[in-house]
Chain A
Amino acid sequence: MSDAVIITDKLTKRFGDFIAANELTFTVMPGEIFGFLGANGAGKTTAMRMLCGLSTPSSGKASVAGFDVYTEVEKIKLNIGYMSQKFSLYEDLTVMENIKFYAGIYGLSDQEIADKGMALLQQLDLEKESKKLVRELPLGWKQKLSFSVAVIHKPKIVFLDEPTGGVDPVTRRQFWDLIYDAADKGVTIFVTTHYMDEAEYCNRISIMVDGFIRALDTPDHLKQQFNAKSMNEVFYALAREAKRSAD
């Protein structure tokens, strides 16, 4: 287990009396696609924010890419990529300017930026659009570009917070192709979602209910465990127990 890229031990976040994430304990292995499921308000985003260094845990231990979340946040930042719920490219910048900007703030050299930028545009088939403003692109393309930009600096782990919200099924499928592609290259994927078809794509899944991790295994094992035909049924079985109302 020593080569795990994310290790948490009773990781907890409290906001006053409210326990958003309660004693989370799990490990994520390199190159794994780790799905983080839960209803709205279950605590997925809080957990992810702690691992990204956006939020300091209240108690418990955690390390990301071998670095401690309390003391080595700056080192963690160098090793992770992040894509949030909100669409996070600059709409008034062109495709290429966005790529250059994000690569630039991660300290890539001009040569690297040029090479990777071209490769990325080719992969996404966006070469003709490189000088277009991002606001002129369809949402699906924006999401894909967003993901590619989040991994442009070759992070060990990339955190995706509901990356496919509001995207049509075809584009979502294409988006997951990109995720598989990155995972094949050894990037660990930590993804939150509430689309159950997406859950099937993950190597392992944890399901959060009311701040607790209630289930954690491969999709197949979970289905066996809950005697369910699909992840949907697994999820409903657990989510029904939730006492917190969705936010």
Chain B
Amino acid sequence: MKQLFTFIRKEFYHVFRDQKTLLMLFGLPIAQIILFGFALTNEIKNAKIVIIDYAKDRASAQIIERIEASKYFEVDKTLISHREMEAAFKEGKIKMALIFPENFNYNLLHTNSNQIQLIADASDINTATTLTNYMSSIIMEYQNELMKENLVTMTIVPEVRMLYNPQLKGEHTFVPGMMAMIMLLICVMMTSISIVREKEMGTMEILLVSPFQPLMVILSKFVPYILISLVNVTSILLLSWLFLDLPVKGSILLLYSESFLFIITSLALGLFISINAKSQQSAMFISLGLTMLPTLLLSGFMFPIENMPLPLQIISNIIPSKWYYIIVRSIMIKGSTFVAIWRETLILGVMTLFILIISLKRFKIRLV
């Protein structure tokens, strides 16, 4: 046990001596979240919108007046028909359209409720969300004033339609996807490099001649990266809550347990790569090729898997980060419990076990 501790301490020396890498390991998730956070919360000014007013009455005029007064929107009055509007969306001339139904004022006064349709170009999710929020708040304000004047509750319901991307994929998917990326980067790449380095330097031979068990070598290599990864999970979650206003809806404990599982998956992958790589450089490139690229392309985090050709859909199933990504998204955004994600967890668990067993076996063969 004491020997293990000695070894783990040595691993921490390695990690902390290499300050540039250390800075990258801890700084990368923070930098990404902050960059993304700013991109997201950036105020949008003078967004081009179109208003199609079928009502042309007092209420619609008052709302339009308010919209024109706001610095967020620039109203294009030249368009009048639905078809023109669609063409303008496609050409990217406008970001949003606002449609007043006929008899807007009349219905509002008589039924005390009415709808306005908001159509936003959701291919740019951040802008679309921000614009609909601005617009809704302008409508809300107007509604509150009407209530004061008439002493009756009047509701104007903005009916929001997101064009091109109805589920608003992207904004919320960024954080779970990034968690998978960061953990792969740290665990796979750093572990494989660290093991290959011992081989390259010749220290591995010394270790194998010593009474220290090979299994313990691996275990000691894992410990620092497990800790670094858990710190990174924490910083990502904290920052996404503070900056992106994206708290974890489900159980934090469950999220950490699943992340721990994925960390082990990544470490096992790192070990697997280290067995096959001859030099630190090749370990790095294999790690990048085997983990980063498939994660970016096939985990569903950048591109929806449903839209891919069938062969790619099938291949995506063997990418561990796909399953982790689904799990994190479910817990963080949908607030799912274990019941909803047990299958993904099982798949990830079996994958991990499989990689771990193969790697450990091959690691032993290498000693003979």
Contact = CB atoms under 8 A, between A and B. Distances in A.
Contacts of A80: 209
A105 B207 contact: yes
A52 interface: yes
A54 B205 contact: yes
Contacts of A159: 209
A8 B250 CA distance: 65
A81 to B, nearest CB: 8
B201 interface: yes
A55 B203 CA distance: 16
A90 B14 contact: yes
Contacts of A133: 17
A182 B290 CA distance: 49
B311 interface: no
A90 B3 contact: no
Interface residues of B, number: 23
Contact of B211 (A89, A92, A106): A106
Interface in B1-30: 2-3, 6-7, 9-10, 13-14, 17-18
Indicate the size class of the contact surface on chain A. 20 to 34
A104 B368 contact: no
A52 B209 contact: yes
A85 B206 CA distance: 11
Nearest to A159: B209
Interface stretch (A93-101, A192-200, A203-211, A214-222): A93-101
Nearest to A113: B6
Contacts of A101: 6-7, 9-10
B203 A105 contact: no
Contacts of A150: 206
Nearest to B204: A88
Contact of B210 (A55, A56, A77): A77
Contacts of B10: 90, 93, 97, 101
Interface in B200-255: 201-203, 205-212
B211 A77 contact: yes
A88 B205 contact: yes
B203 A90 contact: yes
B151 interface: no
A86 B202 contact: yes
Contacts of A86: 201-202, 205
A82 interface: yes
A27 interface: no
Contacts of B17: 92-93, 133
Interface in A95-128: 97, 100-102, 104-107
Contact of A78 (B2, B201, B211, B368): B211
A38 interface: no
Contacts of B205: 54, 82, 84, 86, 88
B212 A105 contact: yes
5 contacts: A78-B211, A88-B202, A88-B206, A90-B14, A106-B210
Interface of B: 2-3, 6-7, 9-10, 13-14, 17-18, 201-203, 205-212, 367-368
Interface of A: 52-56, 74, 77-78, 80, 82-93, 97, 100-102, 104-107, 133, 150, 159
Sorted from nearest, which 9 A-B pairs have the closest CB atoms? A86-B202, A104-B6, A82-B209, A92-B17, A105-B212, A77-B211, A88-B206, A101-B10, A88-B202
